[in-house]
Amino acid sequence: MTAPMALDNSATPQLGSRWDRFAASLCLTLATWLLRLRFGHVLAIVGQIKRACPREADATEAAHMNAAIRLAGRHRSNRVACMEVSLGTVLLAAARRLSVDWCIGARLMPYGAHAWIEVDRTPIGEPDTRDRPYQLLRRI
């Protein structure tokens, strides 16, 4: 039984090949496992990944990878939310020798935490407007 996710599922990407589906599922699984580590270790791993992939993805590539990870998350029985999706997208980009910025933020009143990816300081896969924006805490 699956529970509804808090993610926007309005866009249904059509993935071109089995490799795309397999890679997205694998990266999402790896992201879920990595998030079991101490968060400082996860930040260090993402930093090393960014240094190993100097070419930044463009907005179209990043949006496609983000949508592929979200699609892979629909077929999971465990929690797949912003942290898993954003980290999975970072890993999928790295598998393609590309990099994206992994951002972590928070807000007050009401309290909330959120993770997302950015390309050229532009959020990817996020709503254009928010009633209460998140304050960026960390960009890797």
Q: What is the pLDDT of residue 18?
A: 78
Q: Let me know how long the chain is.
A: 140
Of 60 and 129, the one with more pLDDT: 60
Q: Are residues 80 and 7 in contact, defined by beta-carbon separation less than 8 angstroms? A: yes
User: How far apart, in whole angstroms, are the C-alpha atoms of residue 49 and residue 65?
Assistant: 16
Parse the chain into domains and list their residue ranges. Answer: 18-139
Question: Confidence band (pLDDT; 50, 70, 90) for 14?
Answer: low
Sign of the dihedral through C-alpha 77, 81, 83, 87: positive
Report the DSSP pairing between strands 101-107 and 112-119: antiparallel
Top-confidence range, 8-12, 17-21, 22-26, 126-130: 22-26
User: How far apart, in whole angstroms, are the C-alpha atoms of residue 112 and residue 140?
Assistant: 20
Structure tokens at 36: 């079991």
Of 128 and 60, the one with more pLDDT: 60
Structure tokens at 91: 């890993």
Is pLDDT of 54 > 50?
Answer: yes
Secondary structure of 40-95 in HEC code, one letter for each residue = HHHHHHHHHHHHHCCCECCHHHHHHHHHHHHHHHCCCCCCCCHHHHHHHHHHHHHH
